[in-house]
């Protein structure tokens, strides 16, 4: 059995590969990367490094040749770009005779009103239409996504949000990576959907957990979207990113990430890492 992970030099993909290398023989593992030079370290560990560019479908067909089980890690970019890229990957997988696709999706992708959901809804549908057995890993939110806010708090800033009382199921990338690795290398996951979510918390509850980690009060400043955009602009966030960040806050406020699930326990045999422990790890990395 030969497995392949796309985006293997990215933050999530590299974690998935590291986990797999501890659990399966290296000769069963391949990776597809846009720049093979960045994966030289994986090559030295016995991984089959292949060139695959989601904007160039011909490279994907070659990258996926001889692959039995494929993990498609969602790409970066706007929805239209990602839908196109993911469509190329699914078509290439079908052409190459891939037998199973695991895909990193988003919480409640099919019906979600989250601004990121269209990409994942379209990709899930494309995989189902391809007729390839699948597992949709509907990831909630990476705790690492809050690193810039945590960095600001460490520098003395308040926790600024326009998410109101909306709840998020934050979990570490390591937990999501371990779940993906289990599904890719395991059995019994054909045509499954896993809603992967940590304990649901509000912004205030997350800030309180951070306060206990760093040993000082973390004031929370609830603002409206316009004020949040202004704060981001003053913090030096590029203009093109600000609507995305505001939209994410809006989605949280509207409950698009508020999903309770025990699927982490189902896959990992344990709940997601407690948020305080996750925050402690991130604070140590930022120090």
* pLDDT digits 0-9 by tens, 216-260: 999 999 999 999 999 999 989 999 999 999 999 999 999 999 999
Mean pLDDT of 185-214: 98
Q: Is the pTM of this model over 0.85?
A: yes
User: What percent of the chain is predicted at pLDDT more than 70?
Assistant: 100
User: CA 176, CA 182: separation in Å to the nearest integer?
Assistant: 10
d(C-alpha 45, C-alpha 36), whole Å: 14
Separation CA 228–CA 163 (nearest Å): 10
Structure tokens at 60: 């994907």
User: 73 pLDDT band (50/70/90 cuts)?
Assistant: very high
pLDDT for residue 169: 98
Bridge partners of residue 104, in order along the sequence: 137
For residue 270, the model assigns a pLDDT of: 97
pLDDT of 184 higher than 90: yes
HSE-up (13 A, CA, CB side) for residue 84: 9
Q: Which of 5, 60, 63 is nearest to 31 (CA)?
A: 5
- At 80 the pLDDT is 96
Q: Give the pLDDT confidence of 135-181 residue by residue, as tens digits.
A: 999 999 999 999 999 999 999 999 999 999 999 999 999 999 999 99
Report d(CA 162, CA 168) in Å as an integer. 13
Q: Assign 287 a pLDDT band (cuts: 50, 70, 90).
A: confident
Averaged confidence pLDDT in the chain: 97
pLDDT for the residue 235? 87
- The predicted model gives 278-284 an average pLDDT of 98
Q: Give residue 108's pLDDT.
A: 97
Nearest Cα neighbor of 184 from 108, 255, 101, 267 is: 101
The pair of structure tokens assigned to 80 is: 């239209």
pLDDT at residue number 76: 93
Query: How many CB atoms lie under 10 A from the CB of residue 9?
Result: 19
* Distance of alpha carbon 243 from the chain centroid: 20
Which domains can be identified in the chain, with CATH numbers? 3-139 (3.40.50.720), 141-170+198-258+274-287 (3.90.25.10)
């Amino acid at each position: 059995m030969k497995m392949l992970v796309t985006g293997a030099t990215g933050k999530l993909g590299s974690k998935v590969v590291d986990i797999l290398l501890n659990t399966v023989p290296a000769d069963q593992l391949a990776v597809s990367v846009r720049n093979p030079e960045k994966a030289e370290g994986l090559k030295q560990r016995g991984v089959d490094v292949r060139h695959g560019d989601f904007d160039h479908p011909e490279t994907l067909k070659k990258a996926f040749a001889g692959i039995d089980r494929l993990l498609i890690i969602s790409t970066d970019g706007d929805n239209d770009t990602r839908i196109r890229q993911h469509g190329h990957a699914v078509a290439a997988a079908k052409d190459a005779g891939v037998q199973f696709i695991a895909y990193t999706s988003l919480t409640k992708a099919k019906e979600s009103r989250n601004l990121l959901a269209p990409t994942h809804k379209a990709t899930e549908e494309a995989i189902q239409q391809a007729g390839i057995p699948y597992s949709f890993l509907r990831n909630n939110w990476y705790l690492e996504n809050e690193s810039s806010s945590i960095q600001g708090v460490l520098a003395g800033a308040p926790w600024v949000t326009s998410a109101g009382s909306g709840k998020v199921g934050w979990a570490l990338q390591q937990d999501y990576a371990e779940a993906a690795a289990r599904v890719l290398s395991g059995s019994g996951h054909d045509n499954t959907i896993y809603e992967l979510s940590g304990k649901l918390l509000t912004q205030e509850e997350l800030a309180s957990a951070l306060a206990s980690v760093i040993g000082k009060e973390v004031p929370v400043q609830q603002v409206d979207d316009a004020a949040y955009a202004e704060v981001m602009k003053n913090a030096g966030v590029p203009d093109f990113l600000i609507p995305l960040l505001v939209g994410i806050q809006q989605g949280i406020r509207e409950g698009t990430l508020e999903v309770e699930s025990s699927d982490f326990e189902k896959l990992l045999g344990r709940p997601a890492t407690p948020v305080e422990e996750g925050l402690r790890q991130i604070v140590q990395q930022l120090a």
